[in-house]
Each structure stands twice: as structure tokens, then as C-alpha cells.
Amino acid sequence: MNIWFFIILILAFAIVIGPISMLRPSPAQQRKEQLRLHASKQGVRFSMRRLPMLKTDMDQPATVPVYYLPALPNARDVPEWILMRTTYVHEGNFYQEWDWQTDVRPSDAASSLLKSYLPQLPASVLAISCSNLGVSVFWMEKEGADVLDLLIEMLTKLHKIDSPVND
């Protein structure tokens, strides 16, 4: 047989198989999907949201992964509070580099719970918030399931504190 036949056959095979293999998720994408499935099994939802702008931000922040527990259907109005990691430690901050981005503050119970968890959170946790939509954490997903379990534990406790139901 002619060598050109084999060269054309190899090229045709590469043209067909190449794009198919590029559609496979990368190991990083597979890891993130596993984290999201792990959270989903525990009742935690996932979305992509934009971080609120810090007072020092010049550009609009990028969208980041958010893990959240939705508000209870019969929960009363919960004023929104947002606690964000800043780039500096200041005595006016809530805790080290963590500062409030709204005028609303959570209950004393939620504040003390946050202070107990903040030292344990990795730098990839960018913000924690609570609103009528539920309790959420903005996390870059750089760590594994152990950090996710810590975040879910924190979200669950905050959800119980800041989602009182109407009587």
C-alpha cells in the first residue's frame, strides 16, 4: 500500500478524535464538579455570583463560586449583611482583615459564631453573607472536601441562627 494512504488515515483519525478528546473535563474541572456534588448531597446549593465591590476596588470584581443554603420558605425578612475579606488588617475591621460591607450587622450569636470560624478559613474564602436569599459563602474552591465540610458546617449553624421563622 501507498504511504500516503496511511498518512491520510492518521490525519483523518486525528481530525475526528482530537476535538472529542478536548471536550473531556480537565482534572481541575472534575475536582470542582466533585466538590459541587458533595455539597449538593448535603443540601447546599451552588451558583456563580459577583462579589460586592470593596470601598477600595477600582474595577468590578469577577464572578466567583458561591455555596449557599437557601432561606426557609416561611422565614421572615432578614436584613442583608456581608462580611468580606479585605487586603489589609485594620483595628476598625470586624476581625483582622474581615470587614462589613453593609450597615447591617448580624445578631450577637451569629457574630460570635463568625469569630470562631474566621481563623479557620483559608484565604480562598472571600466573603460570607446572609440575606432573604439565604446564607452564602464566596469560595474559590482551591482546597478539598475537608474545607468544604467546614464551610457547610458554618453555613448550617449560621442558617439556624439567622433564619428565624414567623410565629
For the chain, domain boundaries: 27-162
What are the DSSP E strand ranges found in the chain? 45-50, 63-70, 81-85, 98-100, 125-131, 134-139
Model pLDDT, residue 24: 85
Element holding 160 (H helix, E strand): helix 145-162
Q: Residue 167 — very low, low, confident or very high, per pLDDT cuts 50/70/90? A: very low
Question: pTM above 0.85?
Answer: no
Of 95, 87, 90, which Cα lies nearest the Cα of 111?
95
Average pLDDT over residues 105-117: 95
d(CA 81, CA 78): 9
CA 128 to chain centre: 9
Residue 166 binned pLDDT confidence (cut-offs 50, 70, 90): very low
Strand partners, 75: 165
Q: What is the pLDDT of residues 60-95, one digit of tens each?
A: 888 999 999 998 776 667 788 999 998 888 888 999
Q: Which of 127, 52, 125 is nearest to 84 (CA)?
A: 127
Does position 1 have pLDDT exceeding 80, yes or no?
no
| pLDDT bracket for residue 20 (50, 70, 90) | confident
Which neighbouring-strand residues pair with 135? 69, 130
Cell reading at 109: 450569636
More confidently predicted of 66 and 9: 66
Residue 75, pLDDT score: 67
Spatial strand order in the sheet of 125-131:
45-50, 63-70, 134-139, 125-131, 81-85, 98-100
